[in-house]
Structures are given as structure tokens and as C-alpha cells.
Amino acid sequence: MEREAEKYIREHGMIRKDDVVAAGISGGADSVCLLFVLCALREKLGFRVYACHVNHGLRGEAADRDEEFVRRLCGELQVPCRFFHENVELTARKRKQSHEEAGRALRREAFETMCRENGCTKIATAHHRDDNAETVLLNIARGTGLKGLCGIRPARGKWIRPLLFAGREQIAEYLEEKGTGWCEDATNSEDIYTRNRIRHHILPALGQQVNTGVSFHLNELARQACDVWDYLEAGVDQAWKNCVSVTRAGAESAGAGLAGTDLNGAGLEIDGRAFAQEMPAVRTQLVRRCIAFVRGEEKDIGAVHIEAVERLFSRPEGKMSSLPGGVCARRTRNGVSIRPAGADKEQTAEEKTEEVTLQIPGVTKIPGENREIVCRFVENADVKTAQDIPQKSYTKWIDYDIIEYSLSARTRRAGDYLVINKNGGRQKLKAYYMNEKIPREERERLLLIADGGHVVWIPGYRMSRAYQIGSGTKKILEIKLTEERKDVRDDQSAGPGGEG
């Protein structure tokens, strides 16, 4: 056992010289075996061992006997031990969790406390081969993807499982050779827990009626699934760089990852064209990662939510899908955005362009952007000829004499309107945006050239009919935006939805 454990530890790089290992010791056979193995290897591999025991306050005197047993055993083996007393039942009620979930969370918190206060660098648990087989079967029965087939990892970060190679029988034989006892938890023999039913009935039946090596083969399946999963994750890492732009606190960055990220107010957009180039398996996991990034956790993200996001790529702009944890996905012009529900107003408020009066003639810098607005008077222009000149989305000629106040560049305000026909018919800007099906998150960002509350021109969309040059025009002003934006449509059609 000890030779195999040493080989397994070295193979997976679990423990290095000068590590301090916090081992979870409940007093059961598995954890007692773990403690003996670690103690046998500590001098040879050059690490120290601490024990961590959590009394859940559920089993009364039996739990106190387990604690006393661990205290004596640690004394005999000269292992420092910390004892944590928790009320699992109360915690489960407060956190709205099952006893199992609350117990696991409290054990994790105890381990993390030892890492902070005792300098522990690794956390060792006593999971073994049969535990892993039960986990894989449980995941399959509940419905799982490739990740669920990976079961329990030998090592992940500071969490290590030095006994994952060993079966339950091998552990019992080792303890008999050591001549030591252990504590039996009465709840382990009850069938009230799903895992216990798999342990007592399903795995034994598979072993007796299908293959005696079922536990070994399920572990081998988990190992292969881990290899495939790691390869897939590398593909998702690259896809994240290719497809995802992250917006955080008004800033935007491409290819940002989860590590070290402040998730407060974070949102992101998946580029549709780049996303379509990825393999289906990569796309699925990329969407899962994107939802988890915005939520801050992966819990409760199911296949149905991932499919809902993927369907948005083929739907019209503005279509939405609600996701778990108060997250919303929305079809945008270039792909799909994922952000906290209700974050649009907060984000767009930050993205509003500060109002700036245009220099006429002259060059006006748009605050916070790389674009400039260049204004000049067109001298000696023939009005009829000017009407026939093709005008790009970023250049317009207007009747300067119509201007009532002064021209400014800004984003929308309440009460904005534009004239939509030659009879002077008005349309509220909000109604125009809705008719054009412009997504809500874009409405606050669109740049406007305005004369007071009268919108003269929405670059890339249309201009007000009131300012168009005609036979009575005496002075023509040319307004030109530099550095065209890729997300603005080049629509030169006449009529209510285009530019006359």
C-alpha cells in the first residue's frame, strides 16, 4: 500500500518537499488509512502532516467518540490535529442546503482555515477507487456530460487524493496488517442516501452479474475522460481568446479569462463569425464558461440553457433568453451578449457620450472615442447637383440656415424627435429605434447630431427631412465623421427607415 501510494503521489505530483499537508481525518477506515500512509511517507518525501477533524454535531455521543479516537490516534502518530465543531443542521437551514451539502461546505471551510492559519499548502482527502466508481455511476444516472465522467480527480490545485488508486478491500487489509481499528459511522449502513444505495446494491450487483472488475473499469473510464476533457479545455481556452470580448466597469478587453477577474458588473459578447468556426464540442463548453463567468459560478447551468444561447446566434437582433442566476443573453448585431439581467441601464449610462458643441467650421473630438467630426461649408455648390451626389453613411450635407440653436454631438435624451416626411411630420426617437429594431443596449450608445431636441442626423441610419437641402437652400454645411465604425449599418435607402 505504501509503495503504491508513493508511486501514485509522485506520478501526479501531489506532494513536494516542504509541503504542509492537511489531511481530513474522520476516524473511518479510509481516513485512518490515509493518515498512516502519509505518516509513513512524510520523512522520505520531506513534508509535514496536519490532521483536520470536523464534528458535525449530528450524531451526539457517537460523534464525540469519533473525535476522541482521532485525538488518541494523532497523539500516537505525533500528528498535530485541529478539531472543528459545527452545527450542520442549523447551517443547512440557513443556507437552504441538504445536510450533505452543508457538511461538505463546512469541511471545505475548515480546510481553508488551516491553510490560512497553519500554513498548509495541500489538502488531502481519503477518496478511493470505489468512491470514484460510485461518483461516475451517480453522475451517469443523474444525467451528465463529459465532465461528469471524469469523476474524482487525483489532484486539482491544492486538493489531492493519495488513495484514489486503492479499493475498499485493499484499505481494510492494510489496516488489519497495521493492527489498528477505526470508527464505524452508523449512517454509512443506511440506504437513505443515494450514494449508499449505489454502494450497497448497484455496484455489488454489477460486480456479481456483469464484471467483477467494474470498479477498476469505471476508474479507467474516468481517467480517459479526464484526458479528453483537458484537451477540450485547451481548445476552449483558445476559443475564448478568438471569440469573447469582456466588458467590465465600462472597459472592454478581448480574451480575458476567469482567473483573477473582478466579476462585479462583468458582461461579455461572443462574436458570431468566430464562434461559427469552432467545433461543436468547443462551442458548447465555451457557452457554459461564458455563462459561468458572468454568474461567478457554474452551478445549475444545464444543457437547456446552453442550447438557448446557441439558438440566439440564428435569431434576429434583440431576441433574448433568461439564464440561471439572474443572467440574460441577447442577440446583438455581431453575436450574442451575456450579462446580468438589468445591467443594460447601468452599462449604457456609463457609455453615454458627453455632449459637445460642434466647431463650425472646424474639427470636433468626440469625448472617449477615436472619432472626430469635421464640419465645413460647401462653397458654390449647385443644389440640384448636390442632391444627386452619393453620400456615405459618415458624410451628410445639410441646410445650414435651418439650424435653430447650435449643433451638438451626444447620445439620446428624453423628448428627442426627428422629422420623417416633407410635410413636417414628427416621430419620437424612441419610436424610430423600436421600428428599426435597434437593440436596447445600442440605443444609448448611438451618436446623434442634434439641434436642441431635434435630431438632425443619426449617423449610419438616417437624417431628419427638415434639414435636407432643397431649392431654397443658400448655405450648405458638410458634416463628416472620421474612422467609420464597423457596427453601423450602411443603409442609403430612401423612405421611412432609410436616409432620404
Q: Which residues participate in the annotated binding site for ATP?
A: 26-31
Q: Which of 205, 115, 211, 209 is nearest to 159 (CA)?
A: 115
Which residue positions form the known binding site?
Answer: 26-31
DSSP H helices, 334-393, are 343-351, 383-388
Give the integer Cα–Cα distance in Å for 50 and 24.
Answer: 9
Q: Which of 216, 122, 123, 211 is nearest to 170 (CA)?
A: 216
Q: Which of 28, 22, 71, 73 is nearest to 51 (CA)?
A: 22
SS3 content of the chain, % helix, strand, coil (to 5): 45, 20, 40
DSSP H helices, 143-182, are 146-149, 168-178
CB-based contact 256:244 (threshold 8 Å) = yes
Q: Which amino acid is at 36?
A: F
| All three cell numbers of 472 | 431654397
SS3 95: helix
Q: With 0-12 CB in 10 A as exposed, 13-18 as middle and 19+ as buried, what is 414? A: exposed
Who contacts 423 (Cβ-Cβ below 8 Å, separation ≥6)?
none
Q: Which of 36, 70, 35 is nearest to 53 (CA)?
A: 70
DSSP element (H, E) containing 401: none
Give the integer Cα–Cα distance in Å for 61 and 132.
Answer: 31
My answer on whether omega of the bond before 361 falls inside 30° of 0, hence cis, is yes
SS3 362: strand
CB-based contact 138:194 (threshold 8 Å) = yes
